[in-house]
């Protein structure tokens, strides 16, 4: 009897503790004799700290210690990815001190840490710190930051604010393609800046064991081993053996909890100075001004077509905002995570992309759900709609003509990647059917009868997940490897603990991974425990981001289980007095092929731990294996998203009324979890397309610093979302999985904006930037009918 649950919607095992309030988040933890830290932050976007006096604050009630940049002279927070400019020069890499060294460079930059018996006392004392700031001119807009005379963020390191000027593809071939073009579609667009807003704010506790010189950091991280490496090796100089990093339950990350943040180093360092635990939890307003933001690209794109509408060449120039410091993965986002996907699902033979990365006096910008792929997808899928306009070819037909055909796989793109599998026409057909594309005119007429403008839009996308072959990313500038680690410990009675280097902060790994192991070992899910998030328990790992957990982390677990099965066969062969080659393992039993003689998995486990009758000459006792899995390629999920909107022409209010997603995420282990991931991503995509926008003033004050002004999508902003699949398997990992965590946020925004533009077609609108707020939409309508507006 098989126990496999693969492909079934097993209920999430972790939800019992989450839904009953029994989760264990960093802020839930308290260490004996703990102190509380408040971080004093800059109110200025750019200023010189001329004087800083903490003496009165130090004498305030309850204060244990106050540290400034003068006290905390440690290493710089490192950037994990080095990009080189066109001319071969490395990117400009300014220092990133945990506490300001004489200058502050964005609103929210850390100036001092006040440690007291209570958080209130720390905050009270902070008001007694006297700081003489000399404010300097500041800039938030990346495009303007490149103009001559713009205020420099780093006068010594990058006086022109340019971090790097990178390119990919073949410029000459692309220019030549444009020479032959019958039509050229052109588009300027902005990918709006977003604030991640995980439900759980960041938090960190530093704990120092004096007698053993051991540091522990509890932190809200998606990748505790990466934090241990970055902070231990580069910032604080603590060897791995003396530094434990624990990321317990984490309430959402969306990328923002990948990065190594100053506060982690501050509490770890301070705990040693005062020999007491130090706890810090962000207030929501601190999250707005210190969590790394996402997106913020300005692009110009051009697509050349022949007389049949076949894409000949694509040219893209992007300006990407890096913020004031280089966050952990920031340089990779607009380059290797964006530019390498410019082919999309199309056979465009010649592509050239350029990216100027720019410093501004804003919070660092880094990976946020989709990281580079939403930016490229939005650009491409908007541009293809413009191309349909320009050529007069129907937008569905135009896409079909240019799809990479299934028989062209593996497909080498002109921008480095080699796609392994996909069926874009298959996804599109299914999406057209599921969304009743053909029935749209009737729905449009019905909306019109109610005075509403209805539009329909689609996107056909492909993205890269499962980052990634270590040698490949190494050659592209990654300063770390990107394999994953799985360790499987079989206990004497046959129950199993699995240690994974990935981290679950909402994705349901404790369920999905257990389903995979249960299937492989033929034992019930209840016998399997998944452990993550503690560098003292898990051998190593690179963490969770880029939808890599199952494709890379799951593959490592599969490899480790393979080793368990192999050893089990050798033990079984001994016990059953058969040749190893004759032992087959299926449904939790080791059987001599062609006989009914068998040993259950649990019996083999017991024999391994009580080796009385055991091949002791050749086998060590025990049953525990570890595998490091280095992926052979990225994985390439894709799909078709179709959105319908209804616009109120009098107010410009846009409502998403239908949404259909047909994705190819490879094999689906747990359909319910995949549906949840896809829906969540689509809701974030709708948020980006219609609601969310991080706004800085000209002089770099954060204007959207709370939920009063920064609009998160809510239930009533979102329709019922139809989620479906059209699957091709990944060809190079053992599970055939691709990744589903980001597809929603990637495929959705262009489908929404294409629908908005479609609805506004009668007004001659050809593009609208995100978010398509009511006023923006209304203004677009007014621009088309100035007479009506003046009435």
Partner 1 sequence: MYAFDYTRPTSVADAVATLASDSDATVLAGGMTLIPTLKQRLAQPSQLVDLGALPGLAGIRREGDTLIIGAMTRHADVARSEIVAAALPALAALADGIGDAQVRHRGTIGGSIVNHDPAADYPSAVLGLGATVVTDRRQIAADDFFTGLFATALEEGEIVTEVRFPLPKRAAYVKFPNPASRYAVVGVFVAETGSGVRVAVTGAGPGVFRAGNFEAALTASFTPKAVEGLVWSADDLNSDMHASAGYRAHLIGVLAKRAVATIA
- DSSP 8-state code for residue 484: E
Q: Minimum distance from CB of 63 to partner 1 (Å)?
A: 16
Side-chain-side CA neighbours of residue 54 (13 Å)? 19
Choices 224-232, 505-513, 515-523, 700-708; region in contact with partner 1 by CB under 8 A: 700-708
- Decide: is 305 part of the binding site for partner 1 (CB under 8 A): no
Q: Which residue has the tokens 């490496």?
A: 229
Give the other-Cβ count within 10 Å of 275's Cβ: 10
One of 147, 712, 762, 783 touching partner 1 (CB under 8 A): 712
Q: Which residues pair with 215 in a beta bridge?
A: 208, 243
- Decide: is 308 part of the binding site for partner 1 (CB under 8 A): no
- Decide: is 701 part of the binding site for partner 1 (CB under 8 A): no
Long-range residue pairs from 782-786, CB within 8 A, at least 24 positions apart, any chain: 784/760
- Decide: is 340 part of the binding site for partner 1 (CB under 8 A): no
Q: Minimum distance from CB of 203 to partner 1 (Å)?
A: 18
Q: Which ranges of 625-714 would DSSP assign to H, the alpha helix? A: 671-686
Task: Classify 372 in phi/psi space as left (phi over 0), alpha (psi -120 to 50) or beta.
Answer: left
For residue 660, give every residue at least 6 positions away whose Cβ sits within 8 Å of its Cβ, in sequence order, or none. 431, 434, 435, 641, 642, 643, 721, 722, 724
Dihedral angle computed from the Cα positions of residues 154, 160, 161 and 165, in that order, rounded to the nearest 10 degrees = -130
d(CA 273, CA 276): 8
Sign (positive or negative) of CA dihedral 297, 299, 304, 308 = positive
One of 492, 717, 763, 767 touching partner 1 (CB under 8 A): 717
Per-residue x/- track, 276-295, partner 1 (CB under 8 A) = ---------x----------
- Decide: is 695 part of the binding site for partner 1 (CB under 8 A): yes
Residue closer to partner 1 by CB (options 285, 497) is 285
Residue closer to partner 1 by CB (options 681, 771) is 771
One of 445, 703, 761, 764 touching partner 1 (CB under 8 A): 703
One of 620, 651, 762, 783 touching partner 1 (CB under 8 A): 651
Q: Which ranges of 105-223 would DSSP assign to H, the alpha helix? A: 119-126, 142-145, 171-179
Q: Minimum distance from CB of 131 to partner 1 (Å)?
A: 17
Q: Minimum distance from CB of 699 to partner 1 (Å)?
A: 15
Q: Minimum distance from CB of 282 to partner 1 (Å)?
A: 14
Containing H/E element for 442?
A: helix 440-449
Q: Minimum distance from CB of 629 to partner 1 (Å)?
A: 43
**φ and ψ at residue 178, rounded to 5 degrees:** -65, -30
Q: Minimum distance from CB of 106 to partner 1 (Å)?
A: 19
- Decide: is 87 part of the binding site for partner 1 (CB under 8 A): no
CB contact at 8 A, 150 and 161: yes
Angle at 246 between CA 242 and CA 250, to 5 degrees: 160
CB contact at 8 A, 539 and 485: yes
- Decide: is 119 part of the binding site for partner 1 (CB under 8 A): no
Choices 109-117, 165-173, 353-361, 704-712; region in contact with partner 1 by CB under 8 A: 704-712
Q: Minimum distance from CB of 771 to partner 1 (Å)?
A: 9
SS3 of the chain: helix, strand, coil, percent, to 5 = 30, 25, 45
- Decide: is 650 part of the binding site for partner 1 (CB under 8 A): yes
One of 558, 573, 691, 759 touching partner 1 (CB under 8 A): 691
One of 418, 707, 762, 764 touching partner 1 (CB under 8 A): 707
d(CA 340, CA 376): 9
Burial (CB < 10 A; 0-12, 13-18, 19+), residue 751, is buried
Among the listed residues 563, 550, 534, 544, the one whose alpha carbon sits nearest the alpha carbon of residue 626? 563
Q: Minimum distance from CB of 111 to partner 1 (Å)?
A: 17
d(CA 470, CA 479): 10
Choices 251-259, 314-322, 545-553, 773-781; region in contact with partner 1 by CB under 8 A: 773-781
Choices 39-47, 130-138, 482-490, 709-717; region in contact with partner 1 by CB under 8 A: 709-717
- Decide: is 708 part of the binding site for partner 1 (CB under 8 A): yes
Among the listed residues 567, 556, 558, 623, the one whose alpha carbon sits nearest the alpha carbon of residue 590? 567
Q: Minimum distance from CB of 780 to partner 1 (Å)?
A: 12
Per-residue x/- track, 237-276, partner 1 (CB under 8 A) = ----------------------------------------
- Decide: is 118 part of the binding site for partner 1 (CB under 8 A): no
Containing H/E element for 565?
A: helix 555-575
Q: Minimum distance from CB of 281 to partner 1 (Å)?
A: 14
- Decide: is 710 part of the binding site for partner 1 (CB under 8 A): yes
- Decide: is 19 part of the binding site for partner 1 (CB under 8 A): no
Residue closer to partner 1 by CB (options 554, 705) is 705
Q: Minimum distance from CB of 510 to partner 1 (Å)?
A: 31
Q: Minimum distance from CB of 640 to partner 1 (Å)?
A: 28
Choices 31-39, 184-192, 578-586, 706-714; region in contact with partner 1 by CB under 8 A: 706-714
Residue closer to partner 1 by CB (options 213, 650) is 650
d(CA 646, CA 690): 12
**φ and ψ at residue 431, rounded to 5 degrees:** -70, -40
CA 737 from centre of chain? 18
Q: Minimum distance from CB of 193 to partner 1 (Å)?
A: 13
Q: Minimum distance from CB of 288 to partner 1 (Å)?
A: 12
Query: Could you say which residues in the range 508-567 bind partner 1, by CB under 8 A?
Result: none
CB contact at 8 A, 466 and 551: yes
Residues in binding contact with partner 1, number by CB under 8 A? 23
- Decide: is 120 part of the binding site for partner 1 (CB under 8 A): yes
- DSSP per-residue letters across 179-194: HT-SEEEEEEEEE--B
d(CA 415, CA 350): 9
Angle at 187 between CA 185 and CA 191, to 5 degrees: 145
Chain residues binding partner 1 by CB under 8 A are 120, 123-124, 285, 650-651, 691, 695, 703-704, 707-712, 717, 773-775, 778-779, 791
């Amino acid at each position: 009897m098989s126990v496999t649950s693969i492909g079934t919607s097993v209920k999430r095992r972790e939800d019992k503790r989450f839904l009953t309030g029994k989760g264990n988040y960093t802020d839930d933890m308290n260490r004996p004799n703990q102190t509380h830290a408040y971080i004093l932050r800059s109110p200025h976007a750019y200023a010189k700290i001329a004087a800083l006096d903490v003496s009165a604050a130090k004498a305030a009630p309850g204060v244990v210690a106050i540290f400034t940049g003068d006290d905390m002279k440690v290493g710089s927070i490192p950037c994990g990815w080095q990009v080189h400019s066109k001319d071969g020069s490395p990117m400009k890499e300014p220092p990133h001190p945990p506490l300001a060294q004489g200058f502050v460079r964005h609103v929210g930059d850390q100036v001092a840490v006040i440690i007291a018996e209570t958080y209130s006392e720390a905050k009270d004392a902070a008001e007694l710190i006297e700081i003489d700031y000399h404010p300097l001119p500041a800039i938030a807009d990346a495009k303007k930051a490149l103009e001559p005379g713009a205020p420099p963020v780093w006068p010594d390191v990058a006086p022109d604010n340019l971090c790097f000027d990178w390119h990919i593809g073949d410029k000459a071939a692309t220019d030549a393609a444009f020479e032959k073009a019958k039509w050229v579609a052109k588009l300027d667009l902005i990918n709006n800046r977003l604030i991640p807003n995980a439900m759980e704010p960041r938090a960190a506790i530093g704990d120092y064991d004096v007698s053993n010189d051991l540091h522990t950091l509890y932190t809200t991280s998606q990748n505790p081993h990466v934090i241990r490496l970055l902070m231990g090796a580069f910032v604080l100089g603590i060897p791995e053996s003396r530094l434990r990093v624990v990321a317990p339950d984490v309430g959402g990350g969306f990328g923002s909890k990948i990065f190594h943040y100053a506060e982690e180093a501050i509490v770890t360092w301070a705990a040693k100075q005062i020999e007491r635990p130090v706890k810090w939890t962000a207030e929501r307003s601190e999250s707005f001004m210190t969590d790394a933001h996402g997106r913020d690209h300005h692009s110009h794109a051009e697509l050349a077509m022949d007389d049949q509408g076949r894409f000949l060449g694509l040219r893209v120039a992007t300006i990407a905002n890096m913020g004031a410091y280089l966050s952990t993965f920031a340089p990779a986002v607009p380059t290797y995570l964006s530019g390498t996907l410019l082919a999309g699902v199309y056979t465009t033979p010649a592509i050239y992309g350029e990216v100027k990365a720019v410093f501004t006096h804003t919070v660092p910008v880094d990976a946020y759900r989709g990281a580079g792929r939403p930016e490229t997808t939005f650009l491409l899928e908007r541009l293809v709609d413009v191309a349909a306009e320009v050529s007069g070819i129907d937008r569905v037909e135009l896409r079909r003509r240019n799809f990479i055909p299934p028989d062209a796989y593996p497909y080498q793109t002109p921008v480095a990647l080699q796609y392994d599998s996909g069926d874009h026409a298959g996804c599109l057909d299914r999406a057209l059917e599921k969304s009743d594309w053909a029935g749209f005119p009737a729905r449009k007429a019905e909306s019109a009868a109610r005075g509403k403008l209805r539009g329909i839009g689609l996107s056909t996308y492909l993205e890269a997940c499962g980052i990634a072959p270590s040698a490949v990313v190494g050659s592209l500038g990654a300063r770390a490897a990107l394999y994953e680690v799985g360790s499987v410990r079989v206990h004497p009675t046959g129950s199993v603990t699995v240690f994974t280097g990935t981290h679950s902060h909402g994705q349901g790994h404790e369920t999905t991974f257990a389903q995979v192991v249960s299937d492989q070992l033929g034992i019930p899910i209840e016998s399997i425990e998944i452990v993550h998030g503690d560098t003292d328990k898990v051998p190593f790992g690179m963490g969770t981001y880029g939808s890599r957990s199952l494709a890379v982390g799951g593959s490592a677990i599969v490899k480790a289980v393979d080793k368990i099965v192999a050893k089990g066969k050798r033990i079984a062969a001994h016990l059953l007095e058969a040749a190893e080659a004759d032992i087959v393992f299926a449904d939790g039993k080791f059987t001599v092929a062609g006989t009914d003689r068998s040993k259950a998995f649990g019996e083999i486990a017991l024999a391994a731990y009580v080796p009385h009758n055991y091949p002791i000459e050749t086998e060590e006792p025990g049953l525990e294996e570890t595998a490091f899995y280095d992926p052979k390629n990225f994985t390439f999920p894709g799909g078709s998203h179709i959105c319908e909107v209804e616009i109120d022409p009098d107010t410009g209010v846009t409502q998403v009324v239908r949404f259909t997603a047909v994705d190819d995420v490879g094999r689906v282990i747990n359909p319910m979890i995949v549906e949840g991931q896809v829906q969540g991503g689509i809701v974030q995509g709708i948020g980006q397309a219609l609601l969310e926008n991080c706004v800085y003033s000209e002089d770099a004050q954060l204007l959207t610093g709370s939920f009063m002004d920064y609009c998160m999508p809510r239930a009533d902003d979102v329709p019922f979302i139809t989620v479906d699949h059209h699957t091709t398997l990944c060809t190079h990992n053992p599970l055939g999985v691709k990744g589903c965590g980001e597809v929603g946020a990637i495929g959705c925004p262009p489908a929404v904006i294409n629908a908005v533009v479609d609805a506004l077609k009668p007004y001659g609108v050809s593009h609208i930037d995100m978010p398509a707020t009511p006023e923006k939409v209304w203004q677009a309508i007014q621009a088309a009918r100035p007479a009506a507006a003046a009435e």
